[in-house]
Structure 1
Amino acid sequence: MSIRAVRGATQLDVDQADHLLERTAELMREVLRRNGLGADDVISIFLTATPDLRSAFPAAAVRGIGITDVPLMCAQELDIDGAMPRVVRLMAHVETSLPRDEVRHVYLHGTTVLRDDLAGDAR
């Protein structure tokens, strides 16, 4: 078993709490599903949100899907001119037997442009 980092992002249509929680939960579920992981495989998760997202903490969505006993941290993404708006990003540290080159990073709702080299079969 190795420790690996899995990256991902999703873009919101609007800054509304329910929408932010729904999109963040979807992102976390996809990270788990695409990598064959369960909640017990997660070590920690670092989440960021762009400065235009203020309606809810992304970590609340992760807790809402049952990942309640791992360290989570939220931070604000850098406010760079021209950056994609309304984006939640995550980096999850997980225990997995997958080799590094088989880890599947997840980019949803238009965010593949952020890291198309990592996105794989993102939608």
Structure 2
Amino acid sequence: MVRGVRGATTVNHNNENEIISAAKELVETMEKENGYLPADISHIIITTTQDLNAAFPAAALRKIKGYDLVPVMCAQEIPVPGSLEKCIRVMITLNTDKTQQEINHVYLGNAIHLRPDLALTNRVNSR
């Protein structure tokens, strides 16, 4: 079955190291929380808000073992007034036997405000 795994995180500054580090942490956490391998991934789409342009967050995947052959594309979010700033969003499309209810979407940093119902801390506390 093909499923999507969502994730988002934020950074404090439009800084190359911060963007790469945050994107790496997010993708690694998404993998850990869902138990898939890079070979299970069809593709990854990463978006950033307009205030993040110091680095391509996709560069973070080059630092994660096994992700060198995963197709990745970066894009920019629609600039909706009042939306969360300095945000990196990730959509991983993968093959899995998990149901939609078993997928763990990951929201870190200030991105927990996007989907507090799916934030790791809320899921762990409700188990």
TM-score band (shorter)? over 0.9
String of CA shifts for 1:43-63, please: whole Å, max 9, x gaps.
Answer: 100000000001100111112
Aligned partner of residue 121 in structure 2, secondary structure: coil
Unaligned runs of 5+ in 1: none
Offset at 1:116? 2.3
Check if 1:116 corresponds to 2:116: yes
- Alignment RMSD (CA, Å): 1.5
Aligned partner of residue 4 in structure 1, secondary structure: strand
Residue identity (%): 37
Counterpart of 2:27? 28
Counterpart of 1:55? 54
Aligned partner of residue 34 in structure 1, secondary structure: helix
String of CA shifts for 1:23-78, please: whole Å, max 9, x gaps.
Answer: 00000000000001121111100000000001100111112213111211100011
Deviation >2 Å, runs of 4+: 116-123
Aligned residue identity for 1:20? I
Distance 1:71 1:118 in 2: 26
Q: What are the within-5 Å matches in structure 2 for residues 1-123 of structure 1?
A: 2-66=1-65, 67-121=67-121
| TM-score, reference length from structure 1 | 0.93
Aligned partner of residue 6 in structure 1, secondary structure: strand
Distance 2:101 2:120 in 1: 11
Offset at 1:113? 1.2
Instruction: Report the more deviating stretch, 20-29 or 113-122.
Output: 113-122
Distance 1:121 1:43 in 2: 28
Offset at 1:121? 3.4
Unaligned runs of 5+ in 2: none
Aligned partner of residue 70 in structure 1, secondary structure: coil
Aligned partner of residue 47 in structure 1, secondary structure: strand
Aligned residue identity for 1:37? Y
Distance 2:118 2:73 in 1: 23
Aligned partner of residue 21 in structure 2, secondary structure: helix
The structure whose residues are more often helix, as a share, is 2
